[in-house]
Chain A
Amino acid sequence: MKRFVGFIKKEFYHIFRDTRSLFILFGMPIVQILLFGFAITNEINNVDIAILDHSKDATTKEIINKISASKYFSIKQILERETDIEAVFKKGKVKAVLNFETDFGKNLIKDHQATVQIITDATDPNTANTISNYINSILQNYQQEQNKAIHIDYVIVPEPRMVYNPELKSVYMFVPGVMTIILMLVSAMMTSISITREKELGTMEILLVSPIKPFQVIIGKVFPYIFLSVINAVVIVLLSIFIFKMPVQGSLFLLALESVLFIISALALGILISTISATQQTAMMISLMGLMLPVILLSGFIFPISSMPLPLQVLSNIIPAKWFIIILKGIMLKGVGLEFIWKETLILLGMTILFIGLSVKKYKIRLE
């Protein structure tokens, strides 16, 4: 036991001696969560659009004013010809062009009917679709105002209630995701590097011939990082509560336990990576190249998993981050207890045990 404590001490020395890494380790997550918490949003704001008004009458003017008054759009350019549309899109200056037909106002009064084209640059399909919907709803509103005098009968009025996030803030969606990504990558990367480093520098041999048992080596290696990652997690949670006003509806204690579980599973994954790679370079490339994009894309952090093709939905199940994000959102936003997230917790636990089991099996106590 004393030997083991000594070993852990050595690991702590290693970490604290390298102040530069330590600085990066704690500074990075803070910078990232602040940056992303504020900057990443898929709300549509201040989209630059252009107007091509063939009619130039009072009605179109009124509609254009309505559009520029909304916080979603700012009118950047007034076009004169149809051929200009292509040019502004190619330069990437505006995302949409509103094309009013000739005699728009006159038609509306005479025929009760007028047409406007909403042309969007759909290279970004999501934004294009949203812009199109928003402009359409502004037009609908205008139309309703004009029709106010006419009483429309027989209507079902839907009363939408947005639960868990009434203001539809995208911070609520992204902060748990960013937290997961940071913890996952930092933890996996750190352990995988620290073990392969000893291999590469040749000090692993010394550890192997010492009386410390192999599993003690691994636990001793991981222990300091559990400690560091927990500090990181605490900082991130504090930032999200105090800066981003994320609610924690559920129990903080449960949140802490689940975070520790997730950290351990990420560390275990790091160990597994280190047992299969010979050099730090390989270990890092696996944990960076192999983990970064799958974790960002398949965890439900940005893109909803339920909309993915079925094979990918199945594949997403092996990403530990997916389960942790569900747990985080459950505890923080929905305020659920363990009875609602035991399944996710068990899956994380199972994965952790699997990673550890595999690494123990793969860990070579002899040199080749």
Chain B
Amino acid sequence: MKTIRYIIQKEFKQIFRNKGMLPIIFVLPLLQLIILSNAATFEVKNIKFAFIDNDHSASSRALIDKFEASTYFDVLTVFPSETQASSAMLKGEVDVFLEIPSHFERDLQKNKTTSLGVTINAIDGAAAGVENVYVTQIVQSYNKQIKTDLMQVSDAQIQPVTITSIPLFWYNETLNYKTFMVPGILVLLVTMITLFLSGMNIVREKEIGTLEQINVTPIKKSQFIIGKLFPFWVIGMGLLTIGLIIAKLIFNVPMIGDLLLMYFYTSIYILVILGMGLFISNFTDTQQQAMFIAWFFTVIFILMSGLFTPIESMPGWAQTLTEFNPIKYFVEVMRMVMLKGSGFVDILPQLVKTLVYAIIMNGLAVWSYKKTT
């Protein structure tokens, strides 16, 4: 016990002695949490919108006015021809443009129908889909308006059936992205800091030769590993705490569930990451190698965690792979407990999987650490 305490003391000293590292461990992640959480939004706003009006009629102007009034579209310019509009789109100056055909008004009055060209830059397919929905909505509401304006008495018709659908957004009525992203980004930052620090730790001692000195002492394998893990575990929990305070104070993220449950889960989760870090550390010869591997897994874990893109949309084999992604579980639990108030029973599957993961990773870490070189 005393031995472990000394190792822990040594580790803490080493961490706090390195003045260059302290801001990276404590300030950088929190700064990123505050700034980057604002960036993560899939909302489609400020759409750069242009139009070509070949008709110059009252109807075409009324349609444009509708777009002008919409908050989604920033109406930019009128283009005299399609080629000019296309070229502006190539430059990235325009996202969507309308082409109102000549005889727009005449066709509408005479034939009761007319077409409208809509060109959308679809490189971001998801955004293009949303933009299309917005355009359709505006045109539909315009349709309704002219229907009442132009309808003649003879047009009186049978009443059509309507299905009214009422969308209800539970747990986040205003569709606020920050309540969704802040817990997720906090998870990433806690994971990255603990993984990188623990991943570099033992291999650093190897590289500068101090590991041999420790190896010749009577310190046991498990004591050494525990001593190495504990400081990072404390740092991880500390980061989580500060992050949660920021989430509450700055972003006003709801915390419906039990915070104790949150901490209980996190305390196990960090063990998985630390075990992973030490395992990497044991298997590599240089810090460079260790970091490459840690980086490789982090990028995969982040992008396949369901944090930014939904897991359900991935192909089956990829969904199976995400079962091995600890970040996925942490993100799920964090969101479930904080936003939905899920209880112990609800998160039990994630908790059990994380626990098993922790036992395996740390078992491997202890096993792969050799006291001989």
* B133-A117 in contact (CB<8A): no
Task: Provide the bound-state CA to CA distance between A129 and B180, in Å.
Answer: 13
* B172-A128 in contact (CB<8A): yes
Interface size for chain B: under 10, 10 to 19, 20 to 34, or 35 or more residues? 35 or more
* B335-A123 in contact (CB<8A): yes
* A289-B196 in contact (CB<8A): yes
Return B164 CB to nearest CB of chain A, in Å.
Answer: 5
* B163-A139 in contact (CB<8A): yes
Q: Which single residue of chain B is at the shortest CB-CB distance from A128?
A: B169
* Segment at the interface with A among B1-9, B224-232, B304-312: B304-312
Task: Provide the bound-state CA to CA distance between A172 and B125, in Å.
Answer: 8
Chain B residues numbered 9-65 whose CB sits less than 8 Å from any CB in chain A:
18, 20-21, 24-25, 28-29, 32, 35-36, 38-48, 63
Q: Select one of A45, A129, A150, A194 contacting B175, CB under 8 A.
A: A129
* B296-A284 in contact (CB<8A): no
Q: Select one of B125, B197, B342 contacting A170, CB under 8 A.
A: B125
The interface bits of chain B over 294-337 (1 if a CB of A lies within 8 angstroms of the residue's CB, else 0) are: 11101110111000111011110010010000000000100110
Task: Provide the bound-state CA to CA distance between A31 and B196, in Å.
Answer: 21
* A168-B129 in contact (CB<8A): yes
Q: Select one of A40, A162, A288 contacting B196, CB under 8 A.
A: A288
* A293-B318 in contact (CB<8A): no
Q: Which single residue of chain B is at the shortest CB-CB distance from A197?
A: B288
* A127-B310 in contact (CB<8A): yes
A203 in contact (CB, < 8 A): no
* A168-B128 in contact (CB<8A): yes
A7 in contact (CB, < 8 A): no
Task: Provide the bound-state CA to CA distance between A39 and B299, in Å.
Answer: 13
* B169-A41 in contact (CB<8A): no
The interface bits of chain B over 109-141 (1 if a CB of A lies within 8 angstroms of the residue's CB, else 0) are: 000111111111111111111001101100100
Task: Provide the bound-state CA to CA distance between A89 and B343, in Å.
Answer: 12
* B340-A163 in contact (CB<8A): no
A69 in contact (CB, < 8 A): no
Q: Contacts A108-B161, A285-B196: A122 and B63 contacting too (C-beta < 8 A)?
A: no
Give 6 nearest A-B pairs by CB, closest first.
A168-B125, A122-B169, A162-B122, A39-B318, A125-B175, A122-B172
- What 5 additional pairs, Cβ within 8 angstroms, besides A142-B163, A163-B121, A169-B125? A39-B321, A92-B342, A156-B114, A160-B118, A293-B189
Chain B residues in the interface with A (C-beta under 8 A)? 18, 20-21, 24-25, 28-29, 32, 35-36, 38-48, 63, 86, 89-92, 95, 108, 112-129, 132-133, 135-136, 139, 142-143, 146-147, 150-151, 155, 157-173, 175-177, 179-180, 185, 188-189, 192-193, 196-197, 200, 204, 208, 284-289, 291-296, 298-300, 302-304, 308-310, 312-315, 318, 321, 332, 335-336, 339-343, 346
